[in-house]
Amino acid sequence: MDYNLFVDNIAYLVAYPRSGTTWVRYLLACILYPNENLDHNDMNAVMPDTHAHRFWDPSRWKDFVVFKSHFANYSLDKSKMIYLYRDGRDVALSHYYYHYYQGTEVTFSQYFRDEFLLGRLRFGSWKEHVERWAFRKDKKLFVVSYEELFSNTFQVMKKVVEFLNLKLNPQIIEQAVLKADFRKMRKIGAAGGYHPKLLGLQGRSGGWKETFTDEDLDSFWSWAGDLMEKLGYKK
């Protein structure tokens, strides 16, 4: 679909699922709609999800719209793109709780071995997804880690706003950061029926340490250790 049919200026927020897109979408929505008190349904309307067209409301879109997507096969010919990545171990654990917590007999280690490491998921391999974008050098691409954003939210979002060439008062960014704090994001998650252990809604990194066995960690590092070291993560 050509989204330029709806609005002249668009960008994409792309990430592998469970990498922090809910939080970043809300941050961006609060920046683009600073005078509105947005809830979860509003966010889906004004920050369109390419995987859920039924929630779109183009009548509410402004001159600039950011589309969220988990697809990795975009070109950079027309639109700017923000690529968000996260420690793959936290992604795997969050993904497990998101899909398997209700009455499942599948353990995390089973899921991790038989699905995550093999890329048997809707959007394929986390490793291939990140490798495709994290090291590309292009003026239309802004790459950021979830951990960096969490550690210094205001400064990173200020860079994002500058990258998108949005002329905004920095106070708008400050207000957005306050609106999108994790206590409020947890309420959004609870309203959606999310499991309380979903790490993205706890606002922390390294939760994988509580669940990974030594074998899980060794398997992950054998599979993606080179990539993780290039990204700056430690075993």
For the chain, what are the domain ranges? 3-231
Mean of the per-residue pLDDT values of the chain: 85
Tokens of 134: 């994290």
pLDDT value of position 1: 54
Element containing residue 144 per DSSP (H, E): strand 141-145
Chain segment 109-122, per-residue pLDDT in tens:
999 999 999 999 98
Sequence-distant (6+) residues with CB within 8 A of 59 are none
Amino acid, single-letter form, for residue 205: S
Q: Is the pLDDT of residue 197 over 70?
A: no
Sequence-distant (6+) residues with CB within 8 A of 154 are 173, 174, 177
pLDDT value of position 195: 46
98 contacts 49 by C-beta, under 8 angstroms: no
pLDDT value of position 98: 82
Chain segment 23-33, per-residue pLDDT in tens:
899 999 999 99
16 contacts 91 by C-beta, under 8 angstroms: yes
Chain segment 134-152, per-residue pLDDT in tens:
999 899 999 999 999 999 9
pLDDT class for 233, splitting at 50, 70, 90?
very high
Sequence-distant (6+) residues with CB within 8 A of 38 are 26, 29, 30, 46, 179
pLDDT class for 201, splitting at 50, 70, 90?
very low
Q: Is the pLDDT of residue 80 over 60?
A: yes
pLDDT class for 200, splitting at 50, 70, 90?
very low
- State how far the Cα of 169 lies from the Cα of 158, in Å rounded to an integer: 10
Integer-rounded Cα radius of gyration of the chain = 18
CA distances 36 to 33, 42, 54, 166, 206, Å, are 6, 9, 22, 18, 34
66 contacts 21 by C-beta, under 8 angstroms: no
CATH 3.40.50.1000 for domain 3-231, yes or no, is no
Chain segment 84-94, per-residue pLDDT in tens:
999 999 999 98
Q: Is the pLDDT of residue 191 over 80?
A: no
